[in-house]
Amino acid sequence: MKKTIYITLTAAILASCGGSDNNSLDKVIASKDVETIRAKHTEISHEHKALEKQLKSLDSVIALLDGSANLPLVTTIQVQPQKFDHYLELQGDVMTKQNVLIYPEMSGTLNKVYVEKGQKVSKGQLLATIDDGGLSSQLAQLKTQTELSKTTFERQKRLWEQNIGSEIQYLQAKTNFEAQENAVKQLESQVAKSSIRAPFTGIIDNVIKDEGTVVGPGAGSEVFRIVNLSNMYIEVDVPESHLPNVTSGKDVKVYFPVLGDSVSTKIRQTGNFINPSNRSFTAEIPVPSHDGKIKPNLTARVLINDYTSDNAILIPQSILSENADGEQYVFLVEADSIQNDPVAKKVVIKTGKTQGDYVEVLSGINDGDAIIDEGARSVKENQKVKIKNN
């Protein structure tokens, strides 16, 4: 439009300058008289302003006579069914059932520590030993005595089977041998407590006590912390209203804000008890090990897929309006009027679940309808509109 105006103005100026040979632009320039050139410049400037004023008057008349110039300018969205997954968002922390502090079972000096922080260990592996205070020597002596009582019993048994000797001698030898065996087992159990072993396969997260430290059973004497990162999970409280939709096997997306990463998993199990204090039940969600980055107590955002529709109609929430009766409505353009004479039509709709910036429409809109998007707030029922997109 601006180029057209400039071309018109230029043509008019040139035409006005070409009416007289004495006052022609070429002659003025050729005269090289500064005062003459300045006078011509002033004359052309006045003519330019007069033409601009005339153009503005023409534009006003055109706008008044052309009704489409005052029509609301809108864009439309053609509705198409699509798959819709709704997610229930909850917060939770990563936990593991195998995250324990290891305490000694007997008092004594910590003689030797065989592992380091961060080391992987297997179930039953020896982690440290405690001075047993001479129990090992007592055990060795008791085992020697047990061997003697065993020999005595076996000989007495053979004699008794040959009807040699008395029954009481046989029973005394048998009782003495069994008592010695029980004593050995009991002392072996005591000596075993001097060895600290891994209760399960995992990683030594911390070595708390150093060699030479005096330790003993009870609080404050923990020696190691061991963690198993292969069986972590998140337990979240789910409102009871979601009981029918949040079940075992449902898809879950777990996002870790600190890591900026997420994993996909499924609900392992749900609780069978409604907590009366917050009217919720628990859902346990396993978290697969992710290159060792996921740690216990890490904060997570849990998205549980509680609803899916394969043919859902979705529209932006921003175009929804509500009337005095609480009904939600949108404006659409009837298909047969889009090309010729577009008219806005108000349609009351029923909405379902919301996800992000979009809401599901359950009724009121059909496949292929053209919904007014931009400009939806400025149109009225049965008002003609101008569509700037196809």
Contact 5, 56 (CB under 8 A): no
Average pLDDT (234-248) is 93
61: Cα within 13 Å, side-chain hemisphere = 6
pLDDT reported for residue 5: 40
Give the whole-angstrom CA distance, residue 315 versus residue 357: 8
Q: What pLDDT, on a 0 to 100 scale, did the predictor assign at position 18?
A: 46
pLDDT 10s digits, 248-274: 999 999 999 999 899 999 999 999 999
Question: Span 3-31, mean pLDDT?
Answer: 54
Tell me if 79 sits within 8 A of 371, measured CB to CB: yes
**Which residue(s) pair with 121 in the sheet?**
202
Q: Is the pLDDT of residue 10 over 80?
A: no
Band (pLDDT 50/70/90 cuts) for residue 212 is confident
Query: In this predicted structure, what is the pLDDT of residue 11?
Result: 47
Is 60 exceeded by the pLDDT of residue 19? Answer: no
Residue pair 239/90 in contact by the 8 Å Cβ criterion: no
What is the per-residue pLDDT across 146-165, written as a single tens digit (0 to 9) for each?
Answer: 888 888 888 888 888 888 87
Is a pLDDT exceeding 90 seen at residue 276? Answer: yes
- Confidence band, pLDDT 50/70/90 cuts, at residue 17: very low
Cα distance between residue 161 and residue 242, in whole Å? 77
Q: Which of 349, 312, 279 is nearest to 86 (CA)?
A: 312
Task: Specify the pairing of strand 251-256 against strand 214-215.
Answer: unpaired
Of 339, 332, 348, 308, residue with least CA distance to 382: 332
Mean of all residue pLDDT scores within the chain: 84
Whole-model pTM?
0.59
How sure is the predictor about 40, in pLDDT bands with cuts at 50, 70 and 90? Answer: confident
Counting Cα atoms < 13 Å in the Cβ hemisphere of 46 gives 7
Lowest mean pLDDT among 9-23, 166-180, 342-356: 9-23
